[in-house]
Structure 1
């Protein structure tokens, strides 16, 4: 896998020219239980994904060998493609997947320097047009298909805000075989650049979706999640929502105090089983 970090950024140039090293600064502390997955036996690198106005920094991990490998697009939390998200890609690579995580907010801010989650939401997340996020994910999928990935065996997984984007992307791309959303909000405020929420579009899902949610998550109303599932199922779509009664938001994020090991492991096992059940294998 070629490391293309030195390629030009394109006409406009992006605020983030490379990925975060280590963990995000926007959490109070990194917990000792954080998981580190090694790169022995796989190929992992920071790369660039060509998009309409330049190129996005991204992290890719895949098995050693020629491929093609099933693709899993990995969508970040609000904190950027830092070590946790990179580790997710490496975990997928050890299971036989090409995992690729684009830095979707590279145009808007340098997330490696930001320390306040509320500022990130206000100044970055709220200013990221959904249409641009979807187009960047399309470009990432296309890139993966040209770099030893198999577009006919493709899934998506996202965490937190990335879970919302997993819903939206599964409502957009008919080439997806399966989607997984870890605690993704389904009802968000409509704005000119984020005009429709996953709940609005649930009837149009293009692939089976697994949603993994915490029963103690005060940021996501369970009634909204159940409404999205009901709307999708009424339209003949396949949706399975799993709620972990004692888990908070971010229960899979092993570097944060919100981590709940048993629920995280169960959710991860369900996610991989979901991909395999629906043809991402």
Structure 2
């Protein structure tokens, strides 16, 4: 049975990065980095790590808040506390942690063209920026937010990064989302299209940002994500 576990990797800045990882019982098809939502490594993130491993992928999710000693912000933490936590991220720390996750996959025999990245919410936006700054096989953004805003002082906004995307990219959004608005999603669609890599934007009607609350749409989004990685990580 596929188990989800946590490993610790020392970094050059003296901190220790925690990684939530899972490996398939079946032959490994490739590797996927999962970037967590704004509340950190939640049960939904752990479910995603486990579910992707069950599909044959070697999976790793870096804990981007580890320098603050945080793994998950729970229901007792206010939206303002979550925003404050996100604002403490820097471009250097995000890329260092993501690179360490890709390195974890590489050490286990996964080549760059068989590596993908996926994220929801904050992680979805970061996934797009990472796909513009690193050479990968495929990327998926699920309900990425703050599309037009820089993610930190030294990371571009997803919209700014989009024309530089280096790999096939899939974006999944809910029509009733406020952040991002559909106007911003359409600008993102056009910006990624200018990169000349394969891309697709799916807008689910009559659902908001967290469209996973609709079982039918959630199942469709999951299947599209699997199909995207199946098609491009070879």
- TM-score, normalised to structure 1, is 0.76
Please give the alpha-carbon distance, in whole angstroms, between the structure 1 residues aligned to 2:174 and 2:3.
Answer: 33
Deviation string, structure 1 residues 242-273 (Cα, Å, up to 9, x no partner): 00011211223xxxxxx111111100100110
Of the three residues 55, 58, 61, the one matched with 2:22 is 61
- TM-score, normalised to structure 2, is 0.90
Of the three residues 253, 259, 262, the one matched with 2:216 is 262
Q: What is the RMSD computed on CA atoms of the aligned residues?
A: 2.0
Q: Larger radius of gyration, structure 1 or 2?
A: 1
Please give the alpha-carbon distance, in whole angstroms, between the structure 1 residues aligned to 2:151 and 2:42.
Answer: 28
Which stretches in structure 2 are left out of the alignment for 5+ residues?
Answer: none
1:140 aligns with 2:94: no
- 1:26 match: none
Q: 1:224, CA displacement in angstroms?
A: 1.3
Please give the alpha-carbon distance, in whole angstroms, between the structure 1 residues aligned to 2:116 and 2:151.
Answer: 28
- 2:133 match: 172
- 2:84 match: 123
Deviation string, structure 1 residues 181-204 (Cα, Å, up to 9, x no partner): 000025243486245201012111
Cα distance change of structure 1 residues 146 and 87 upon mapping to structure 2, 3 Å threshold? same
- 1:92 match: 52
Q: Are 1:215 and 1:245, in contact at CA under 8 Å, matched by a contact in 2?
A: yes
Write out aligned runs for 1:1-281 (5 A). 40=1, 42-53=2-13, 54-64=15-25, 69-112=29-72, 114=74, 115-174=76-135, 176-185=136-145, 187-190=147-150, 193-252=153-212, 259-278=213-232, 280-281=233-234
Q: 1:83, CA displacement in angstroms?
A: 2.0
Deviation string, structure 1 residues 39-69 (Cα, Å, up to 9, x no partner): x2x243111233332221121111136x554
Deviation string, structure 1 residues 95-143 (Cα, Å, up to 9, x no partner): 1001111111111353546523422333210120123212210111001
Please state which structure has a larger fraction of its residues in helix: 2
Most deviating of 259-268 and 185-194: 185-194
